[in-house]
A = this chain, B = another copy of it.
Amino acid sequence: MKIPRPERIARIMWRLAKNPFRLFSLSDIAKSFEVSKTVISDDIEIISNAMKDEGRCNIVIDRGRGGGAYLVPTFDEADKRRFLEGVAEELSKEERFLPGGLIYYSDIVFDPHYTQWLGWALGSMFIDCGAEVVMTSEVKGIPIAIFVAQSLGLPLAVCRFRNRPSDGPAVALHYPSGTGEVRAMYMGTRNLKKGAKVLIIDDFMRGGSTIAGMTMMAREFEATVVGKGVFIVSALPEQKAISGYKALLVLEKDEHGPRVRVL
Contacts from A to B (Cβ < 8 Å) = 3-11, 13-15, 17-18, 43, 46-47, 49-51, 53-54, 57, 98-100, 102-107, 110-113, 115-116, 138-140, 142-143, 146-147, 149-150, 153-158, 160, 165-168, 188, 190-191, 204
Complex CA–CA separation, A54 to B102 (angstroms): 46
Complex CA–CA separation, A147 to B143 (angstroms): 9
Q: Are B50 and A107 in contact (CB under 8 A)?
A: no
Nearest chain B CB to A134 CB, angstrom units: 9
Complex CA–CA separation, A15 to B6 (angstroms): 16
Query: What residues of chain B lie closer than 8 Å to A115, measured between beta carbons?
Result: 146
Nearest chain B CB to A63 CB, angstrom units: 20
Nearest chain B CB to A132 CB, angstrom units: 12
Complex CA–CA separation, A41 to B218 (angstroms): 52
Nearest chain B residue, comparing its CB with the CB of A155: B111
Q: Are B190 and A47 in contact (CB under 8 A)?
A: no
Nearest chain B CB to A78 CB, angstrom units: 17
**A167 touching B13 in the complex, CB below 8 Å, given contacts A156-B111, A156-B143:** no
**A11 touching B166 in the complex, CB below 8 Å, given contacts A110-B156, A110-B191, A139-B142:** no
| A155 contact from B46, B54, B107, Cβ within 8 A | B107
Query: What residues of chain B lie closer than 8 Å to A150, measured between beta carbons?
Result: 112, 116
Complex CA–CA separation, A155 to B213 (angstroms): 30
Nearest chain B residue, comparing its CB with the CB of A160: B139
Q: Are B191 and A146 in contact (CB under 8 A)?
A: no
Query: What residues of chain B lie closer than 8 Å to A15, measured between beta carbons?
Result: 54
Complex CA–CA separation, A165 to B105 (angstroms): 11
Q: Are B190 and A107 in contact (CB under 8 A)?
A: yes
Q: Are B6 and A149 in contact (CB under 8 A)?
A: no
Q: Are B112 and A146 in contact (CB under 8 A)?
A: yes
Nearest chain B CB to A73 CB, angstrom units: 11
Nearest chain B residue, comparing its CB with the CB of A103: B166
Q: Which of A11, A107, A146 has the most CB of B within 10 A?
A: A146
Q: Are A149 and B112 in contact (CB under 8 A)?
A: yes
Q: Are A106 and B10 in contact (CB under 8 A)?
A: no
Complex CA–CA separation, A242 to B24 (angstroms): 43
Q: Are B7 and A166 in contact (CB under 8 A)?
A: no
Nearest chain B residue, comparing its CB with the CB of A167: B106
Nearest chain B CB to A166 CB, angstrom units: 5
Complex CA–CA separation, A190 to B106 (angstroms): 9
**A110 touching B51 in the complex, CB below 8 Å, given contacts A6-B5, A9-B9, A99-B165:** no
